[in-house]
Amino acid sequence: MTKLTQIQRNRYKRHIMLSEIGESGQEKLLQAKVLVVGLGGLGSPVAYYLAASGVGTLGIADSDRVDITNLQRQILHSSDTIGILKTESARRTLKNLNPDVKIIKHNERLTTENARQLVSDYDIIVDACDNFETRYVMNDICYELDKPLVHGSIFQFEGRTTVFIPEQGPCYRCLYPERPPEDLIPGDNEIGLLGVLPGVIGTIQATETIKLILGIGTFLAKRMLIYDALNMDFQEIELKVSPECPLCKEKKDIS
Amino acid sequence: MKIKVKMFANLAKLLPPGSQNKQADLTIKSGAKVQDVLDKLKVPPKLTNVFMVNGSLVDKETELKDGDILSVFPPVSGG
């Protein structure tokens, strides 16, 4: 493992001072490869804090361009990047924050066709996307390739976050077997969102990602945190493998 | 018997008209299960497996008791 330079020792001083991290932990962060899928409300704090923390390789995936309606919550982007690809807007912000980080842009949506190729190079995948289709694709490929998936999702004043670790179960399909009908659960563009809400959930996702890289503490696995900003209430729900889950049921049979 | 149902995110629109604060008191048959309440409120069958009764995770076959508080958490997609 490459040793830290003196500049890095200064940049990451407050990490290194923590006995749980130290120089060896910081080296682990610099060696880590994380893919952030979605560079919107959730992806902004996730990528921002992972870059600041010195996660060495950050894959950033999004096919959209920055729109003025994004700026109420998507803090990676700014008024002067309106109209450009979110991956490029994000790259500029992240590089400016921390030139140590290697940014790999993926200007595409995650689909069943490209998922394997996109995901396989990374250690941990962060689900910061804004649609069900991508969430199911991500769940299935992370399950198949045995990659930890750090989930976040938001609605109006409510947020959810959890970590899916394939070998421990459960997975996203255990919780939500099928994509919900559009008329019942509306798509992202049709819902109001408190701007700061993804800041809270995305920051928890970044925290869990860093802990997973370092292997420290207790992960938010097998439990989901549900945040209600309107009433400032955090609830935790225990999660279980569903006996009807097409993925986990199969895996259980093998073991 | 009577129970309280709390619907998270926008599932509240499946509650009886006039319900407030995303919750409602329902009268159900004695011995009714979580699934019976979901059916009564027309929650799509494969929408969610995330329910709590009085703060603990339960499954669809859990039998409800008078005074129980059932919370139903649908998926949300925003990011």
Four-residue CA torsion sign, A240, A246, A249, A250: negative
Q: Is A60 helix (H, G, I), strand (E, B) or coil?
A: strand
Say how far apart CA A227 and CA B73 lie, in whole Å. Answer: 12
pLDDT band at A254 (very low <50, low <70, confident <90, very high): very low
Inform me whether the pLDDT recorded for B12 exceeds 60: yes
Q: Would residue B22 count as lying in a domain? A: yes
- Whether B78 maps to a domain, the answer reads no
Closest residue to B78, CB basis, from A180, A191, A238: A191
Is 70 exceeded by the pLDDT of residue A99? Answer: yes
Give, in order, the Cα–Cα distances in Å from A32 to each of A187, A211, B22: 33, 12, 42
Q: Do the Cβ atoms of A173 and A247 come closer than 8 Å?
A: yes
Q: Which of A153, A226, A237 lies at the smallest CB-CB distance from B79? A: A153
Which DSSP category does B3 fall into? Answer: E
* Whether A185 and B78 lie within 8 Å, measured CB to CB: no
Confirm whether B66 is domain-assigned.
Answer: yes
Q: Does some domain include residue B79? A: no
What total of structural domains would you count in chain B?
A: 1
Q: Mark A169-206 as b/e (b = at least 16 C-beta within 10 Å).
A: bbbbbbbbbebbeeebbbebeebebbeebbbbbbbbbb
Please enumerate in sequence order all residues whose Cβ is within 8 A of that of B2, keeping only pairs 6 or more positions apart, or say none: B25, B26, B27, B28, B66, B67
Minimal CA separation from B62 to chain A, in Å: 14
Answer left, alpha or beta for residue A232, where phi above 0 means left and psi between -120 and 50 means alpha. Answer: left
Is position B63 within any domain?
yes
Q: Which of A41, A177, A188 sits opposite B77 (nearest CB)?
A: A188
Nearest Cα of chain A lies from the Cα of B28 at a distance, in angstroms, of 24
Residue B11 belongs to a domain: yes
Grouping H, G, I as helix, E, B as strand and the rest as coil, residue A84 is coil
CB A118 within 8 A of CB A104: no
- Contact yes or no for A248/A242 (Cβ under 8 A): yes
Q: Is the pLDDT of residue A107 over 60?
A: yes
Is the pLDDT score of A255 beyond 80? no
Query: Which residues, 6 or more positions from B78, have their beta carbon under 8 angstroms from its beta carbon?
Result: A41, A130, A153, A154, A155, A188, A191, A193
CB A53 within 8 A of CB A29: yes
Region A4-31 average pLDDT: 98
Partners of B47 on chain A (C-beta within 8 Å) are 176-178, 180, 184
According to the model, what pLDDT value does residue A1 have?
Answer: 67
Q: Which among A40, A180, A191 has CB closest to B75?
A: A180
- The pLDDT tens digits of the residues spanning B34-76 come to 999 999 999 998 999 999 999 898 999 999 999 999 999 999 9
> Could you tell me the CATH number of the domain that includes residue B19?
3.10.20.30
Give A177's contacts in chain B (Cβ within 8 Å).
46-47, 49
Instruction: Report yes or no: B49 and A175 within 8 Å, Cβ to Cβ.
Output: yes
Orientation of helix A86-97 relative to helix A43-52, angle to 10°: 30
How close does chain B come to A247, measured CA to CA in Å? 15
For residue B20, give its domain range.
2-73
Q: Considering chain A, what is the average pLDDT of its residues?
A: 95
Domains and CATH numbers, chain A: 32-238 (3.40.50.720)
Residue in A with minimal Cα distance to B42: A184
Query: By three-state DSSP, how is residue A83 classified?
Result: coil
For residue B65, what are the contacts with CB-CB under 8 A and spacing of at least 6? B1
pTM tops 0.90: yes
Residue B19 Cα distances to A19, B9, B11, B26, B48, angstroms:
52, 14, 12, 11, 22
Task: Check residue A184 and give its pLDDT.
Answer: 81
| pLDDT of A7 over the 50 cut | yes
In a domain, B25, yes or no: yes
The identity of residue A59, as a single letter, is G
CB pair distance less than 8 Å for A132 and B75: yes
Quote the pLDDT of residue A251.
65
**Beta-sheet pairing, B56-58 with A57-61:** unpaired
Give the pLDDT mean for A69-73. Answer: 98
Is the pLDDT score of A228 beyond 80?
A: yes
Rounded CA-CA distance A55/A41 in Å is 20
